Structure 1
Amino acid sequence: MTEHRLDDRGVKRPLIPKMVRALAIPIIFFWGLLAVTTNAFMPQVERVAEELAGPMVPHYAPSQRALLHIGEKFHESNSTNLTMVVFEANRPLGDQDHRYYDDLMRRLERDTKHVQYVMDLWGKPFTAAGAQSVDGKCTYVLLRLAGDIGQIQANQSVDAVRDIIKKDTPPPGLKVYVSGAAPLASDTLAIANASLNNVTIVTIILILVMLLLVYRTPSTLLVPLLGVLIEMLVAKGVVSTLGHYGYIELSSFAVNIVIALTLGAGTDYGIFLMGRYHEARQAGESREDSFYIAYKGVAPIIIGSGLTIAGACYCLTFARLNYFHTMGPAVAITMLFTIAAAMTLGPAVLTVGSLFGMFDPRTSTKGFLYRRIGASVVRWPVPILVASSAVVMLGAIFVPSYRQNYDDRQYQPVGAPANLGFQAADRHFPKSKLFSEMLMVETDHDMRNSADFISLDRVAKALIRLHGVAMVQGMTRPLGRALEHASIPYLFTTQGSGNGQQLPFNREQNSNTDAQADIQAHSVAVLRKEIGFFQKVSDELHQTVLTVEDLKRISNEMNEEVSNLDDFFRPVKSYFYWEKHCFDIPICWAFRSLWDTIDHIDHLAEDIDKAEISLAEVDKAFPQIIAQLKATADDTEALQLKLVNSYGSADLQSIQTDQTFDDLINVGNDFDRSRSDDYFYIPHEGFDNEDVKAGMKLMMSPDGKAARFIVTHEGDAMGPEGVEHVEQFPDAIKTILKETSLAGARVYIGGSGSNDKDIKQYAMSDLLIAAIAAFVLIFLIMLFITRSLVAALVIPGTVAFSYAGAFGLSILLWQHLIGLHLHWLVLPLTFIILVAVGSDYNLLLINRVKEELHGGIHTGLIRALGSTGGVVTSAGLVFAFTMLAMLTSDLRTIGQVGSTVCIGLLLDTLIVRSFVVPSILRILGPWFWWPTLVRPRPLPQR
């Protein structure tokens, strides 16, 4: 070919490419030395990313503040690290398993460096049933470990717990898993780091294969391949150095994106340079002139594209989520180094190689295909715009079906350690058991009293009645259901039961009363007989008194007669008493005895007189006695009647009371069996119960001013419905506590659903902030390069339109065909990447059209498409397949990001850049370059 030299035509060499060409070997040496030193003398970027890992959600997020405040209030923890240890047996858990469990709890509590709190539910009789599965084969324990989720301290704490478990062998048939939010995040980090090298190797292999397909000769691909390898090493080394010394934040996810973008963008820039160099050589320019032409042609594109990517990604620094704001500075810095390398290292390698004729094109490529496309666009712009837009819209129609997912389990390998624990729990517990919410109600007074417990149970009832809530565990329902024997009906039952215990005694007393009535009746009958006897005795006594009165009269008469006789015979009588020997003379003794008898008649009369007086008194008393006995009999009979009546009433009352107590007992038992949570009440003496004390130690703060609840979701807690569930909690609790003893209480919610709620809000706000900043930045960069307001609006607009189609196709692929919903991270991250990366292809085309405007808009468009079509297509395909290599990562989230970016780049390269943008440019004509004045046709040459 005929070579032409620019300096022969009096064109002055630009300073920067001239210096690059003059210092080619030192430049190559410098970049190589930088790559070696930053990687050899600095820690590996993966290790630095692990050390700098920050909390996934910022501390000021409501869910994180809630967990921290709950830990502080309960004197348990100062972190957000929630970890579950799951125990699963192939049989019902027994005493041997419990002894192993108790020993493990003691060993965990001794590790105060990593384990801050152990919520031992299975070890407490009061709460054991609530922590064990229905089949009895599985249980769990909640740990609060040191470090916030995502940080290296949290990951080390998870590893420490796993090491403690490994040190002792569980009983045969029992398996122990460490799972939960913190282990899941720790495993995500480990999987991402472990897959990084594999992704990098596959990416380099794909780049090598794609470059061989593009250039056909190994020597030609040296510029982009050598440049991108050094750029990748420099990117890793620089990011590692800056992170190690604390200048930037870093995460494993950011490292993956940094490497992928560096490899993709660096390869593109090398292809741009080589494509323009080959174009100049095929136009007959010398190697040196081709170098300057290529440098001048691609420098604005490389700078504009690199600054677009760097600026757009740097806008993520303003984001609040760790995934985003750690990626911003890292990507921005590496892209600046990539720009510098693309502007110096690539041209330096090209300079050295061109001296030996290594990079000359082997075949002549005139771009006939893209010239035909350009001619078609010029001829039929509207139909082509409609058709190409319809292709993009075919993907965009799936966007409304987008359903984001927050469940990181689905994006890890099935055999990941944390995933095994979730699988074990799901085999025995309801789904989402390990993704519960921890809710706390805090007030300004001690709630350990019966009145406030009623209000706390109202909270539990309000929560369990909400849609999407499967179980609520709290102080008033430690087993997740209404507490047994803690209701007003059952309180009546206990009172009835106590009174019912007196029923046998009452019945015995009633029987005694009946017996007393019978005895009284018998006593009345006996008394009536006695009265009859006494009446007869009284009558006979009265006759006796009359007889005694006659006897008294007779005795008085006899006494007078004897006195007369005594007076008459007194001399004779004296003889018998004077005779000394009267005892010896029988006749004397006989008469003397007779006279003694006559003397006693006088005494007899006196005795009869006394007897008559006494009998007369008794005769008077007997009627009175009989009257009293009759009155006593009447009273006793009346008492017996009252006893009979009392017995009847008491017996009827006893029967009715017995039935009432049975009803009370049945009501209480029925309430217990129904598990109804109405009429909750714990009496004052219930707070002295040891089980209640143990429950308060777990579910209430030491000062009694805060009570917590553990809420289990119904269904998928990590999906959008989990966020919907949590959004109901605050209003429901505040409404139910109105006008109660806990009115005005503060509510704190932390856990999986609330964490996802914060992520959802922050992700959307972060995306909005980053998107606005990125679009403004891209607009300004494009405006500066193209000097056209319309072009600066069209480029980001078409890229955004392209992204809608790409994201819809990604939804079709992953959600509808594969059956795995896109991770929530995919949308904001791929949007920023595609908006930034996709702009450079359109920028290259428009910038080339601008160079060809001297031939007219139509001719310039056809020439620009013909000259850049192959280069842009090659670059787009290489970049797309570079991102597609992320599918080899074991973390499916990275694969989804890579595949979505790949689809977006293919759509942008093959459809938007080839048809949509040229059609818009053709339709708008000179207005596309406004306010720059452009003639639709070239001026006629004179």
Structure 2
Amino acid sequence: MKQAARAPRVPFWLRWLIPVVLVVGWVAIAGVGGPTFGRLDEVSSNDQATFLPAGAEATEAREWQQKFQDSGEVPAVVVIESSSTLTHSQLGATADLKASIEDLRVGSTVVGPVPSQDGKAVQFIVSVAAAEPADAVEELRREVRAGAPDGTQTFVTGPAGLAADLTGAFAGIDGILLLVALAAVFIILLVVYRSLLLPFIVLLTSVFALCAAILLVFGMAKAGWIQLNGQSQGILSILVIGAATDYALLYVARFREALEHTANRTAAAITAWRASFEPILASGAAVAIALLCLLFSDLNSNKALGPVAAAGIVCSLFAALTLLPAFAALLGRAAFWPFRPKLQPEDAREPELVTGLEGQRGLWRAAGTLVSRRPRSVWVASVLLLVVASAGVMQLKANGVPQTAVILSASNAVDGQDALARHFDAGSGSPVVIVSSQATAGEVLEAVKAVDGVGAAYLLAEGSVPITGAPGSPARPAVRDGRVLINATLDFAADSDAAEQAVSAMRNSVTQADPGALVGGVTATALDTNTTAQRDLATIIPVVLAVILVILMLLLRSVLAPVLLVASVVLSYAAAMGVSALVFNHVFGFPGADATVPLFGFVFLVALGVDYNIFLMSRVREESLKHGTRPGILRGLGVTGGVITSAGVVLAATFAALGVIPIMFLVQLAFIVAFGVLLDTVLVRSLLVPALAYDLGPRIWWPGKLARREPQETTKAAEVAEAGVR
């Protein structure tokens, strides 16, 4: 056989200079971005203020509340509990403990000790500086343990305690998360490529992309453009590693193909870049723009994640289109050692396709044969399977979970909330905050007290001291701009459904006394968050779908194909959520799901799922231009099947790594995205989409030129495929 002719000599600047400059440039970025990874805590906060609904009543109430608290402190509740009635000696020890707590100076006030009615516990309300609540709470816990009476258990809970434990759940997890994700990707790449060097090249591309993303995110957070929290940090690492690896897999596949047809490594790198540029760019743009649609959310946590994640995708895109081609140009076939691609004979370059199955072997030939023989049966069966899986959505309880259920690891604050509910009003330490005008304060206070479930309610004087009317209590309330503050303690745990119902009733009641009154606090924030999250679903989902539809139309030069592809992604998302709901309820035993889980699941699954649509259909279109639509579909399925499957497994593995963070929201998101990506890869992209496209034939490209170019496909391909001729 005649060997391929040598490629023309490539100039030195293109063969060596540009690749070396690109690699050195990315090494410099990594050299700066790597150390910045450890500095993200400087611009990150897990304060609940970063999660609040931007325009909700609870947020406005919190802003007024801060005017009454010049120090910006948050309350911590110290609970000392005994299995039997506390003795006089033990009660005396708790009284002495107050002085020790005050000496810590973690905040401005210490209220207590307040004994419980059953005599088995006492509590303190301690103001904690909001700037460093985790350190202050840990110091407070040590002091309380040391000074508590013998035979008692101690807890530090309340908003400050829960915030500290939430911060602790994220502490040090970035490094572990990154190592788990990289190890999973490395093992998968070893299996896929059977090469010792290529997995390191791909991982370096991903890690350097992450370093660039960290620099970009750090700069934006430092400038105050975005709010960064532990949740966003964890998702950023996973998203960049997964996306950069996916883009790298697509480029490497085209690079391997190019090396089979040219002996020049630089020419092969350029050919692969040209072939993969459009799908990688379209994929990255679709995902980044979809993530930026989170800016339309009224939840601060969603708004914060959108730009952070989009920055990660942009850096992944640039790394895959610059650094990886530079590595490829420098290493050539050596990158695939010991299984280097062989140069094919010149007459083997462009096989004539009849069915589209020529030259294919193994699993993807079998899949192509099935699709070509029974296309309608395949796509109908796939749709029915997804519809059945989607039925589980009815069991999804995405209306929020108790704050004490958010942390899945051991938590002193969570245990403290249980102890608090056993001995005191369950809402102690997390009061409902009512802001009213000074003129109507009396009427509002009476309206609050009349609400079922309110254990106590009182006006606040300077220093957040309650006005109870008892001897020695202040007589005049604190006033800010004609407004006063009222605290109400509920009989229910602040994060319970009963508490949310009480807050809803309270809002209806107080607005009758003062139409401008605001009801806030922990419970009101949870209620407003759930309401806002439901509204965001209706707002953001249509925007994301529209963005993806437009990008697919531009890429495929078609209307019908993008509409069907988007419909397949939405159906795949519904099926993933349905199965996830069953797993959460009956396998993991979760009490529910955060209200933002459906939205985050949608954005990630639809935006990332469109990657595989783009990888598949861009290649199908390329092959259809050469060989016709139906042969092009089978050819595209065969040459991209391994790449898409590998990309799906990599992305699923990286998102599954989020499960190491003991936060319910992230564990649920990890399962939804990992399962959904695998479902999309194995069923939707391998069977449903190819079978539907094959059944429609050239009509799939309507109204593009490709549909008119093939008004009537030759019957030869269909006859050969139907007969199963090899």
1:137 is aligned, of 117, 120, 124, to 120
In the alignment, which residue of structure 2 is the partner of 1:187?
Answer: 165
Matches within 5 A, 1:731-742: 731-733=508-510
Query: Structure 2 vs 1, CA of residues 55 and 851 (structure 1 numbering), >3 Å: closer, same or farther?
Result: closer
TM-superposed CA distance for 1:830, in Å, is 2.1
Does residue 710 of the first structure (1) align with residue 488 of the second (2)? yes
TM-superposed CA distance for 1:805, in Å, is 0.9
**What is the CA deviation profile of residues 654-677 of structure 1, one whole-angstrom value per residue up to 9, with x for unaligned ones?**
xxxxxxxxxxxxxxxxxxxxxxxx
Matches within 5 A, 1:508-527: none
TM-superposed CA distance for 1:860, in Å, is 0.7
User: Does the 8 A contact of 1:810 with 1:900 survive in 2?
Assistant: yes
Q: Report the residue type matching 2:184 in the other structure.
A: L
2:520 is aligned, of 750, 753, 767, to 750
User: Does the 8 A contact of 2:534 with 2:595 survive in 1?
Assistant: no
TM-score (norm 1): 0.66
TM-superposed CA distance for 1:440, in Å, is 5.5
Where 2:148 maps in the other structure, the secondary structure is coil
TM-superposed CA distance for 1:909, in Å, is 0.4
The worse-fitting range, judged by mean Cα deviation, of 217-226 and 267-276 is: 217-226
Query: Structure 2 vs 1, CA of residues 182 and 783 (structure 1 numbering), >3 Å: closer, same or farther?
Result: farther
Q: How many residues align?
A: 686
CA separation in 1, counterparts of 2:468 and 2:534? 46
CA separation in 2, counterparts of 1:315 and 1:32? 32
Query: Structure 2 vs 1, CA of residues 68 and 153 (structure 1 numbering), >3 Å: closer, same or farther?
Result: farther
Does residue 818 of the first structure (1) align with residue 596 of the second (2)? no
TM-superposed CA distance for 1:700, in Å, is 6.0
Where 1:890 maps in the other structure, the secondary structure is coil
**What is the CA deviation profile of residues 106-142 of structure 1, one whole-angstrom value per residue up to 9, with x for unaligned ones?**
5656777x52455x3x55xxxx5xxx44432123233
TM-superposed CA distance for 1:856, in Å, is 1.6
Matches within 5 A, 1:49-448: 49-50=44-45, 55-57=50-52, 60-70=55-65, 72=67, 75-76=68-69, 79=72, 81-105=74-98, 115-118=107-110, 120=111, 132-147=115-130, 152-155=131-134, 158=137, 161-162=140-141, 165=144, 169-282=147-260, 287-354=265-332, 356=334, 358=336, 361=339, 366-404=360-398, 405-429=400-424, 435-439=430-434, 442-444=437-439, 447=442
Does residue 473 of the first structure (1) align with residue 456 of the second (2)? yes
Query: Structure 2 vs 1, CA of residues 410 and 876 (structure 1 numbering), >3 Å: closer, same or farther?
Result: same
CA separation in 2, counterparts of 1:787 and 1:56? 41
Query: Structure 2 vs 1, CA of residues 135 and 832 (structure 1 numbering), >3 Å: closer, same or farther?
Result: same
Matches within 5 A, 1:736-815: 743-744=513-514, 747-815=517-585
Q: Report the residue type matching 1:777 in the other structure.
A: V
CA separation in 2, counterparts of 1:794 and 1:67? 46
Matches within 5 A, 1:870-909: 870-909=642-681
CA separation in 2, counterparts of 1:848 and 1:61? 47
TM-superposed CA distance for 1:723, in Å, is 3.4
Where 2:171 maps in the other structure, the secondary structure is helix
User: Does the 8 A contact of 1:435 with 1:713 survive in 2?
Assistant: no
Query: Structure 2 vs 1, CA of residues 695 and 922 (structure 1 numbering), >3 Å: closer, same or farther?
Result: farther
Q: Report the residue type matching 1:4 in the other structure.
A: A
- Please list every run of 5 or more consecutive structure 2 residues that lacks an aligned counterpart in the other structure: 343-358, 460-466, 717-726
CA separation in 2, counterparts of 1:828 and 1:162? 37
TM-superposed CA distance for 1:757, in Å, is 1.4
CA separation in 2, counterparts of 1:695 and 1:815? 52
Q: Report the residue type matching 2:379 in the other structure.
A: L
CA separation in 1, counterparts of 2:440 and 2:200? 75
TM-score (norm 2): 0.84
Where 2:198 maps in the other structure, the secondary structure is coil
CA separation in 2, counterparts of 1:382 and 1:923? 6
Does residue 728 of the first structure (1) align with residue 505 of the second (2)? yes
CA separation in 2, counterparts of 1:838 and 1:331? 16
Query: Structure 2 vs 1, CA of residues 827 and 146 (structure 1 numbering), >3 Å: closer, same or farther?
Result: same
The worse-fitting range, judged by mean Cα deviation, of 932-941 and 32-41 is: 932-941
TM-superposed CA distance for 1:172, in Å, is 1.5
Higher RCO, 1 vs 2 (CA within 8 Å, ≥6 residues apart): 1
Query: Structure 2 vs 1, CA of residues 399 and 77 (structure 1 numbering), >3 Å: closer, same or farther?
Result: farther
Matches within 5 A, 1:461-610: 461=450, 463-464=451-452, 469=453, 471-474=454-457
TM-superposed CA distance for 1:33, in Å, is 1.6
User: Does the 8 A contact of 1:179 with 1:422 survive in 2?
Assistant: yes
CA separation in 2, counterparts of 1:286 and 1:163? 67
CA separation in 2, counterparts of 1:191 and 1:61? 28
Where 1:57 maps in the other structure, the secondary structure is coil
**What is the CA deviation profile of residues 468-523 of structure 1, one whole-angstrom value per residue up to 9, with x for unaligned ones?**
x3x421359xxxxxxxxxxxxxxxxxxxxxxxxxxxxxxxxxxxxxxxxxxxxxxx
CA separation in 2, counterparts of 1:97 and 1:701? 36
Does residue 460 of the first structure (1) align with residue 449 of the second (2)? yes
Where 1:23 maps in the other structure, the secondary structure is helix
Q: Report the residue type matching 1:386 in the other structure.
A: V
Query: Structure 2 vs 1, CA of residues 864 and 352 (structure 1 numbering), >3 Å: closer, same or farther?
Result: same
Where 2:369 maps in the other structure, the secondary structure is helix
User: Does the 8 A contact of 1:411 with 1:892 survive in 2?
Assistant: yes
CA separation in 1, counterparts of 2:147 and 2:196? 57
Query: Structure 2 vs 1, CA of residues 368 and 358 (structure 1 numbering), >3 Å: closer, same or farther?
Result: closer
Q: Report the residue type matching 1:88 in the other structure.
A: E
In the alignment, which residue of structure 2 is the partner of 1:567?
Answer: none
Does residue 852 of the first structure (1) align with residue 629 of the second (2)? no
Q: Report the residue type matching 1:87 in the other structure.
A: I
**What is the CA deviation profile of residues 664-708 of structure 1, one whole-angstrom value per residue up to 9, with x for unaligned ones?**
xxxxxxxxxxxxxxxxxxxxxxxxxx9833596499658998573
In the alignment, which residue of structure 2 is the partner of 1:830?
Answer: 601
**Structure index of larger Rg:** 1
CA separation in 1, counterparts of 2:221 and 2:484? 41
Where 1:171 maps in the other structure, the secondary structure is coil
User: Does the 8 A contact of 2:54 with 2:298 survive in 1?
Assistant: no
Q: Report the residue type matching 1:872 in the other structure.
A: I
TM-superposed CA distance for 1:158, in Å, is 4.2
TM-superposed CA distance for 1:188, in Å, is 1.5
CA separation in 2, counterparts of 1:931 and 1:359? 45
Query: Structure 2 vs 1, CA of residues 159 and 262 (structure 1 numbering), >3 Å: closer, same or farther?
Result: same
Query: Structure 2 vs 1, CA of residues 408 and 201 (structure 1 numbering), >3 Å: closer, same or farther?
Result: farther
CA separation in 2, counterparts of 1:51 and 1:809? 31
Q: Report the residue type matching 2:363 in the other structure.
A: L
Query: Structure 2 vs 1, CA of residues 106 and 442 (structure 1 numbering), >3 Å: closer, same or farther?
Result: farther
Where 1:4 maps in the other structure, the secondary structure is coil
Query: Structure 2 vs 1, CA of residues 20 and 726 (structure 1 numbering), >3 Å: closer, same or farther?
Result: farther
In the alignment, which residue of structure 1 is the partner of 2:345?
Answer: none
User: Does the 8 A contact of 2:499 with 2:523 survive in 1?
Assistant: yes
CA separation in 1, counterparts of 2:226 and 2:514? 43
User: Does the 8 A contact of 1:85 with 1:179 survive in 2?
Assistant: yes
Does residue 840 of the first structure (1) align with residue 611 of the second (2)? yes
User: Does the 8 A contact of 2:569 with 2:610 survive in 1?
Assistant: yes
In the alignment, which residue of structure 2 is the partner of 1:919?
Answer: 691
Query: Structure 2 vs 1, CA of residues 760 and 37 (structure 1 numbering), >3 Å: closer, same or farther?
Result: same
Where 2:177 maps in the other structure, the secondary structure is helix
CA separation in 2, counterparts of 1:331 and 1:407? 27
In the alignment, which residue of structure 2 is the partner of 1:692?
Answer: 469
Over the residues paired in the alignment, what is the CA RMSD in angstroms? 3.6
TM-superposed CA distance for 1:284, in Å, is 7.4
TM-superposed CA distance for 1:846, in Å, is 0.6
CA separation in 2, counterparts of 1:696 and 1:745? 29
* Identity value in percent: 25
**What is the CA deviation profile of residues 833-856 of structure 1, one whole-angstrom value per residue up to 9, with x for unaligned ones?**
111111010111110110111312
TM-superposed CA distance for 1:911, in Å, is 0.9
**What is the CA deviation profile of residues 288-317 of structure 1, one whole-angstrom value per residue up to 9, with x for unaligned ones?**
544333222221121111112221112223
